[in-house]
Structure 1
Amino acid sequence: MRRTVLKSLLAAPAAVALPGLVWAQAKPEKSKLTVAVGGKNLFYYLPLTVAEQLGYFKAEGLEVEIPDFAGGSKALQALVGGSADVVSGAYEHTINMQAKRQPIQSIVLQGRAPQIVLAASTKTMPGFKSIADLKGKKIGVTAPGSSTAMMASYVLAKAGIKPTDVSFIGVGASSGAITAVKSGQVDAIANLDPVITMLERDQLIKIISDTRTLKDTQAVYGGPMPAACLYTPVKFVQENPATCQALANVMVRALRWLQKAGPSEIVKTVPESFLLGDRSLYLAAWERVREAISPDGLMPEAGPATALRVLQTFDDKLKTAKIDLGQTATNSFAKKAAAKYA
């Protein structure tokens, strides 16, 4: 843990890093893939949608199926259960799974800020004053165990509230989450845009903690906090380096497109259902989180250490676990992809 994380990332396993020059343009070992995701309509996963809609997977020789689950923890379960090859999900899962001796690795970063917002319901908690008021309450998250639940747990822990002092309720990441707040099923919610912006518009929530911008993320976590990434078992990375390179190429190309895309291009690219019935609000929400999208797919040097420190704040098992952060992510694929799409 004391080694420099960047050095660890660059010194990726030999099976991954050394053959790079040989297989960079090689045919993917596995062309048919299942990439699981939890809440595909969220901006958190927009690079994945862009890649799919613009045909970037096919351009790299990949035929990809993308099942959408209620939350990131459900997508992770699909990977562990063998029904998915790769997950587009929160980086934090790579740390949690290493602690469980089921090593998975991020091969390309999609988000450099979590975009998650914790907010109190103005319907059930009109007199909300502080985080302490959440003790004993029901908090809606995309799915228990997901990154939204982890973010909420961290904010609560800093206020002296244990995760067991509240009830986490899975509400998904779309209209179901909005309904849960409107109907009073939950007292607070940890979710992402465009859901949060729509709840704000209707004055249904009061923001408690916000990580939609780099500045706010720094304020909440005290350092850079990596968010969405493509992760897969370390064994898959070692056995399918050309496939992983193709996936990184796809994602970096999508990230580059998003850096230049205008509002009209975004709306034309995403499915109509993602707009949740309000195009202008969707675009307004996009502008609020735009900088949270990674520009290059690279894991920031201090990112893994920040994530580990955050998780250790509320997870006692991780306080004593031996975590090799260098095994949780590699920048080797993203660097080659960046060179290809420079």
Structure 2
Amino acid sequence: MQRRTFIASGAALAAGTLIDTPFAFAQAKLEHPKVSIAVGGKNLFYYLPLTIAERRNYFKDEGLEIEISDFAGGAKALQAAVGGSADVVSGAFEHTLLLQAKGQMFREFVLQGRAPQIVLAVSKKAMPNYKGIADLKGKKIGVTAPGSSTSIMASFVLAKAGLTASDVSFIGVGAGAGAVAALQSGQIDAMANLDPVMTKLERSGDIRVISDTRTLADTRAVFGGDMPAGCLYASQSFITKNPNTTQALTNAMVRALKWLQTATGKDLISTVPEAYLLGDSSLYLDAWQHVKEAMSPDGLMPANGPATSLKTLQAFDETVKSKPIDLSKTWTNDFVKKALTSVKA
């Protein structure tokens, strides 16, 4: 799809007329057209809107040249942004809270997921007699990367059962075939990971799910409220200096979210890279049905989402417990609201 803009007369705009383009208003000059985005496990459904925006050229339609760097987990992607090698992160919202606790101001500006999609499961082979969370004490739990949203979710589930992260060993196993192999080979006793990895292990009978956040109901049962998940976030300084660029990024992501609301399985399979399918397109589509509800339909942060995220971290993270966190500085719906008035699917 080629980039298209339009020029509308004042009368047409006053009448609310929209021309059939990806965005309704003449595009403002981009301050920073080349944007580097860090992501941790790009093949996961957690980050699917990012892939859709990239593969369907929605970023290009906005005049953006995007470079995406894929890391083993969200914590690694975060480090890239803090270190200056990435402008924006496609990652978990709770990282903005962790960064503020360390004196670094980052803000979410478009939500990708309204449920974390993370599944905590035990290996049937390693823990055939599992009875409860307490049985995880002393065990090796595979996560995408230590400090990532997968370890945060697992830490919270442990905390609710009276255990701490120091009672287990978190092992970074990535988010693809390597994670599957780590569990099947016995390198880990349990795993917190996402689809399509977890659906593959469920299908093969290798795991027993003990905590699931792939649906809104399951997420609320685990966290006690709406739990924002994947999003695009950047330093406040980047957003302040580059409002038009931030808006363009948001436009592309909102367009991807809208596309996902009506996309068929065939559409999805033909859009994502073949490597995402883990060698089984039917499995990928089954996994998609598990997590489809978790996708944000519009990119907006739910009103009570940030508070749920903070409450989750405070349950086990001493750094966040001891620092005052200003939630209002960790997110904004301003860019999404503008996108929703102009962006077409």
- TM-score per shorter chain, which class? over 0.9
Q: Give the length in aligned residue pairs.
A: 320
Distance 1:167-1:24 versus aligned 2 partners, 3 A rule: farther
Structure 1 stretches of 4+ with a deviation exceeding 2 A read none
Structure 1 residues 172-202: Cα deviation after superposition (integer angstroms, max 9, x where no partner)? 0000000000000000000000000000011
**Structure 2: how far apart are the matches of 1:171 and 1:44?**
17
**Partner of residue 136 from structure 2, selected from 117, 131, 134:** 134
- For 1:84, give the aligned amino acid: A
What is the CA–CA distance in structure 1 between the aligned matches of 2:133 and 2:68, rounded to whole Å? 37
Could you say which residue in structure 2 is the equivalent of 1:252? 254
Q: Which amino acid aligns with 2:199?
A: T
Determine the structure 2 residue equivalent to 1:119.
121
Residue 340 of structure 1 aligns to a residue in which SS?
coil
| 2:264 is aligned with 1:266 | no
> How well do the aligned residues superpose, as a CA RMSD in angstroms?
1.0
**What are the residue-to-residue correspondences of 1:293-308 with 2, within 5 Å?**
293-308=295-310
Q: Does 1:168 align with 2:170?
A: yes
CA distance in 2, matches of 1:172, 1:119: 16
In the TM superposition, residue 27 of structure 1 has moved relative to its aligned partner by 1.6
Q: Output aligned runs, 1:42-191, within 5 Å.
A: 42-191=44-193
SS in 1 for 2:341: helix
Counterpart Cα distance in 1 of 2:104 and 2:168: 28
Q: Partners of 2:305 and 2:148 in 1: how far apart?
A: 18
Contact persistence 1:27–1:61 (CA under 8 A): no
Structure 2: distance between partners of 1:282 and 1:188 = 22
Instruction: In structure 1, list runs of 5 or more residues that go unmatched.
Output: 1-22
Matched letter for residue 105 of structure 1: R
State the Cα deviation string for residues 298-336 of structure 1 (Å, max 9, x = none): 000000000000000001221221100000000000000
Report if the CA contact (8 A) 1:24-1:336 is conserved.
no
Q: 1:19 maps to which residue? A: none
Aligned to 2:27: 25
Q: Which amino acid aligns with 2:65?
A: E
State the alpha-carbon separation in 2 of the partners of residues 108 and 128 from structure 1.
39
**Residues 31-88 of structure 1, C-alpha deviations (whole Å, 9 max, x = no match):** 0011010000000000000000000010001000101100000000110111100000
Deviation, 1:254, is 0.2
Task: Look up the SS of the partner of 1:323 in the other structure.
Answer: coil
Structure whose residues are more often helix by fraction: 1
> Quick check: 1:285 aligned with 2:274?
no
Q: Quick one: which amino acid aligns to residue 183 of structure 2?
A: V
What letter is aligned with 1:107?
A: F
Map of 2:215 onto structure 1: 213
TM-score, normalised to structure 1, is 0.93
**Counterparts of 1:53 and 1:117 in 2: how far apart (Å)?**
27
Structure 2 gap segments, 5+ residues each: 1-24
User: What's the CA shift for 1:24?
Assistant: 8.2
Instruction: Give runs of aligned pairs for residues 189-208 of structure 1, distance below 5 A.
Output: 189-208=191-210
- Displacement of 1:123 in angstroms is 1.3
* Partner Cα distance (2:54, 2:203) in 1: 30
Instruction: Give % identity.
Output: 66
The amino acid across from 1:224 in the alignment is D
> Which residue does 2:236 correspond to in 1?
234
- CA deviation map 1:75-129 (0-9, x unaligned): 0011011110000000000000000001100010000000000000111111111
Task: Quote how far apart the aligned CAs of 1:28 are.
Answer: 1.3
For residues 277 and 135 of structure 2, the distance between their equivalents in structure 1, rounded to whole angstroms, comes to: 33
Partners of 1:318 and 1:88 in 2: CA distance:
22
Q: Distance in 1 between matches of 2:336 and 2:27?
A: 14
- Match of 2:318? 316
